[in-house]
């Protein structure tokens, strides 16, 4: 049992409790202390399992990546709304596959969720390092295969 | 009634209306699109952003309180969970062997075959047009 | 609490109420897919979509009636909805 991890987990869990309960009387804070101890004891080795040397850099880069992602989400929504509301419904669905250069699970999860949220593409399946992506028309598939998003994710998780 | 309150209310209403528009567009797309995977596009994206915008509007309205922190957690959770559940459903459907709908030369043919096979289209694993789905499933699991 | 300068006699609560009615209508439209199908996966996403709309509906209700309890319910509902979808697609 790593005491440093236990204390760090305890502080995070207790801060979470305070934020969610928003009561500061004796009963609620006491219950928070007891519950945080139990949860921190049960899961003190989970939260910091993947922490290495570059974790802080990765988190900072991920936060820097978020505005671009939100911009892409807005574009995706306008795209889908246009397709859904236009009378002719200009869709031509197809499944494309590509091999990824990303290695870690976290990076692949981030890429899969980003693909799902960006214009015209939904991740269907990942088998080893092959992504199966469903594209709603031809242009989004071509944009995806160009690989701009993958390079961004690789930069975030330092796997280039 | 101060100026700040009016500005806050205007921002709130604008965000709410935008979110509601995207949510309605997603719902219309969900009903209109011809096959399961295309519907997935509508639900996975429009619902995420529509709800995100509406909850951001409510944060702006509520101000800096504990309630806003709760809604912020809700937004973060939705941003993480909604694509994941979309992906989970798509993967389950793909594993079962549901074929993606391809654009045919005449829509009439699709109308006749697609609507009558009520649950039949989730069991046609054998005659896959592309064949890739069945081959990869065998070694993948 | 009312945006009287801009909206006349319409307060923010009325705006929230209109949004809630809009979400309920969208849920009913989604329910068409849930009933009509075809197939089980369309029904699963229909349930998922209605569940996510319900989260926003709960938060709106919390603001309309000014009862903070509803936000906790919304959080728990979000988690339950996610777990329900994962469980339904696993089995």
Instruction: Please give the residue range of the domain that contains residue B120.
Output: 3-140
- Is C24 among the domain residues? yes
Q: Is pLDDT at B128 greater than 50 in this prediction?
A: no
Q: Do C55 and B70 touch (CB under 8 A)?
A: no
B108 close contact with A: CB closer than 8 A: no
The DSSP 8-state label assigned to residue A25 in this structure reads S
The subunits that touch chain B, with at least 3 C-beta pairs less than 8 Å apart, are A, C
B and C: number of Cβ contacts within 8 A: 142
Q: Which of A116, A15, A38 is nearest to B47 (CA)?
A: A116
Cross-strand pairs, A127: A130
Neighbours of chain A (3+ CB pairs under 8 A): B, C
For residue C83, give its domain range. 8-90
Domain assignment of residue A67, yes or no: yes
C1 inside domain? no
How far C13 CA sits from the closest chain B CA (Å)?
A: 11
Q: How many domains does chain A have?
A: 2
Domains: count for chain C: 1
Predicted local confidence at residue B117, as pLDDT: 40
- Residue A73 phi/psi, 5-degree rounding, is -65, -40
Same domain, A75 and A142: yes
Instruction: Determine the pLDDT at residue B119.
Output: 40
**Digits of tens for pLDDT over chain A (160 positions)?**
677 777 878 888 888 888 777 777 788 788 888 888 888 888 777 666 666 666 777 778 778 778 888 888 888 788 778 777 777 766 667 777 777 777 777 777 777 777 777 777 777 777 777 777 777 777 766 766 666 777 777 777 766 5
Higher pLDDT residue, B109 or A27? Answer: A27
d(CA A88, CA A100) in angstroms, rounded, equals 35
Confidence class for position B133, pLDDT limits 50, 70, 90:
very low
Distance of CA C8 to the CA centre of its chain: 28
Domain count, chain B: 1
- Whether residue A50 lies inside any domain: the answer is no
Instruction: List the pLDDT tens digit at each of the 91 positions of chain C.
Output: 444 455 555 677 787 888 888 888 888 888 887 787 777 778 888 888 888 888 888 888 888 887 777 888 888 888 888 888 888 887 7
Distances (CA, A) of C55 to B34, B54, C43: 27, 11, 19
Q: Establish if A48 belongs to a structural domain.
A: no
Does residue A49 belong to any structural domain of this protein?
Answer: no
Q: What was the pLDDT predicted at C8?
A: 54
Q: Which residues span the domain enclosing A131? A: 55-156
- CA of B106 vs chain A CAs: smallest distance (Å): 13
Q: d(Cα A133, Cα A151) in Å, to the nearest integer?
A: 17
Give the span between the Cα atoms of C19 and C12, in whole angstroms: 11
Same domain for A38 and A62? no
Residues near A122 by beta carbon (within 8 Å), at least 6 away in sequence = A115, A116, A133, A134, B37, B40, B41, B44, B86, B87, B90
Mutation target among C2, C12, C35, C38 for the B interface, most CBs of B within 10 A = C38
Percent of chain B, pLDDT > 70? Answer: 66
Beta bridge partners of A123: A133
Residue B114 pLDDT exceeds 60? no
Q: For residue B125, what pLDDT band results from cuts at 50, 70 and 90?
A: very low
Q: By the 8 A CB rule, do C10 and C3 touch?
A: yes
Euclidean distance between CA atoms C91 and B111, whole angstroms: 31
A134: β partners: A95, A122
Residue C2 lies in a domain: no
Answer yes or no: do A91 and B45 touch at CB < 8 A. Answer: no
């Amino acid at each position: 049992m790593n005491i440093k991890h236990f204390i760090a987990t305890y502080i995070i869990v207790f801060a979470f409790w305070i934020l969610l309960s928003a009561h500061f009387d004796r009963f609620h804070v006491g219950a928070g202390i007891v519950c945080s101890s139990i949860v921190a004891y049960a899961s003190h080795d989970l939260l910091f399992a993947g922490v290495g040397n570059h974790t802080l850099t990765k988190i900072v880069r991920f936060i820097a990546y978020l505005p671009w992602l939100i911009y892409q989400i807005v574009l995706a929504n306008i795209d889908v709304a246009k397709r859904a509301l236009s009378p002719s419904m200009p869709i031509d669905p197809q499944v494309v596959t590509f091999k990824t250069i990303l290695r870690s699970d976290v990076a692949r999860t981030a890429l899969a969720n980003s693909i799902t949220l960006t214009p015209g593409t939904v991740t269907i399946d990942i088998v080893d390092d092959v992504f199966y992506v469903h594209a709603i028309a031809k242009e989004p598939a071509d944009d995806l295969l160009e690989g701009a998003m993958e390079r961004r994710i690789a930069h975030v998780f330092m796997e280039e | 009634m101060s100026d700040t309150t009016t500005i806050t209310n205007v921002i709130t209403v604008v965000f709410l209306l935008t979110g509601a528009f995207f949510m309605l567009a997603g719902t219309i797309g969900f009903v209109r699109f011809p096959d399961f995977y295309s519907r997935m596009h509508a639900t996975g994206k429009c619902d995420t952003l529509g709800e995100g915008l509406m909850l951001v509007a409510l944060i702006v309205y509520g101000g800096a309180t504990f309630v806003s922190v709760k809604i912020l957690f809700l937004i973060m959770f939705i941003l993480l969970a909604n694509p994941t559940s979309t992906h989970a459903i798509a993967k389950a459907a793909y594993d079962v062997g549901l074929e993606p709908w391809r654009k045919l030369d005449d829509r009439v043919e699709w109308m006749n075959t697609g609507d009558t096979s009520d649950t039949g289209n989730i069991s046609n694993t054998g005659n896959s047009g592309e064949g890739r789905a069945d081959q990869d499933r065998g070694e993948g699991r | 609490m009312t945006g009287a300068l801009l909206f006349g006699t319409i307060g923010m609560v009325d705006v929230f109420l209109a949004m809630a009615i809009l979400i309920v209508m969208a849920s009913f439209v989604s329910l068409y897919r849930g009933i009509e199908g075809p197939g089980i996966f369309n029904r699963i996403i229909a349930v998922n979509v209605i569940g996510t709309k319900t989260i926003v509906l709960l938060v709106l209700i919390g603001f309309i009636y000014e009862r903070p309890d509803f936000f906790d319910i919304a959080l728990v509902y979000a988690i339950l909805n996610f777990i329900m979808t994962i469980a339904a697609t696993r089995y």
